[in-house]
Amino acid sequence: MAFTDRSLPAREAILSAARSRFATDGYDRATVRAIAADAHVDPSMVMRYFGNKRQLFALTADFDLRLPDLTAVPCDEAGHALATHLISRWEDDEGLQILLRTATTDDDAADRMRAIFAGQLAPQIATITGDATTAATRAGLVATQALGLVLCRYVLRLPPVVEMSRAEIVRWIAPALQRFLAGSP
Amino acid sequence: MAFTDRSLPAREAILSAARSRFATDGYDRATVRAIAADAHVDPSMVMRYFGNKRQLFALTADFDLRLPDLTAVPCDEAGHALATHLISRWEDDEGLQILLRTATTDDDAADRMRAIFAGQLAPQIATITGDATTAATRAGLVATQALGLVLCRYVLRLPPVVEMSRAEIVRWIAPALQRFLAGSP
DNA sequence: GTCTATAATTCGATAGAC
DNA sequence: GTCTATCGAATTATAGAC
Residue spans of the domains in chain B: they are 5-60, 70-182
Is residue A128 within 8 A of residue A75, CB to CB? The reply is: yes
Whether the Cβ atoms of residue A142 and residue A177 lie closer than 8 Å to each other: yes
B137/A102 CB distance under 8 A? no
Helix (H, G, I), strand (E, B) or coil at A73: coil
DSSP annotation string for B81-140: HHHHHHHHHHHT-THHHHHHHHHTT-HHHHHHHHHHIIIIIHHHHHHHS--HHHHHHHHH
Of B115, B36, B83, nearest in space to B180 by CA: B83
CA of A57 to C1' of D2 (A): 23
* B124 in Cβ contact with B143 (< 8 Å): no
Local structure of residue A117 (DSSP, 8 states): I
pLDDT score for B92: 87
State whether B161 and A144 contact (CB < 8 Å).
yes
- In Å, how far is A156's CA from the nearest CA of chain B? 6
- A8 Cβ contact list (under 8 Å, min separation 6): none
Residues 96-155 of A with CB under 8 A from B: 100-105, 110, 113-114, 117-118, 122, 136-137, 139-141, 143-149, 151-153, 155
pLDDT at A4: 82
| Closest of A97, A66, A160 to residue B143, by C-alpha | A160
pLDDT at A6: 86
In terms of residues, how long is chain B?
Answer: 185
Q: List, in sequence order, the alpha helices (H) in A30-157.
A: 32-38, 43-50, 53-60, 78-91, 95-103, 107-116, 122-128, 132-150
Max distance between CA atoms of chain A, in angstroms, equals 59
Backbone angles phi, psi at B41, to 5 degrees: -145, 155
B13 contacts B39 by C-beta, under 8 angstroms:
yes
Distance CA A20, CA A60 (A): 9
Residues in chain B with CB shorter than 8 Å from the CB of A110 are 155-157
pLDDT of residue B130: 77
* Å between CA of B164 and C1' of C7: 52
B47 C-beta neighbours (distance < 10 Å), count:
15
The whole-model pTM stands at 0.97
**10 Å Cβ neighbour count for A87?**
19
Q: A161 and B140 in contact by Cβ < 8 A? A: yes
- Would you call A145 and B148 a contact, using CB atoms and an 8 Å cutoff? yes
Residues of chain B with pLDDT under 70: 1
Å between CA of B42 and C1' of C5:
14
Average pLDDT, chain B: 95
pLDDT in tens, chain A (185 residues): 678 888 899 999 999 999 999 999 999 999 999 999 999 999 999 999 999 999 999 999 999 999 999 989 999 999 999 999 999 999 989 999 999 999 999 999 999 999 999 999 999 999 888 788 899 999 999 999 999 999 999 999 999 999 999 999 999 999 999 999 999 88
Residues 44-63 of B with CB within 7 A of strand D? 44, 47, 52-54
From residue B90, alpha-carbon distances to A129, B94, B96 in Å are 31, 7, 7
Amino acid present at A41:
V
Second-level CATH architecture of A5-60:
Orthogonal Bundle (1.10)
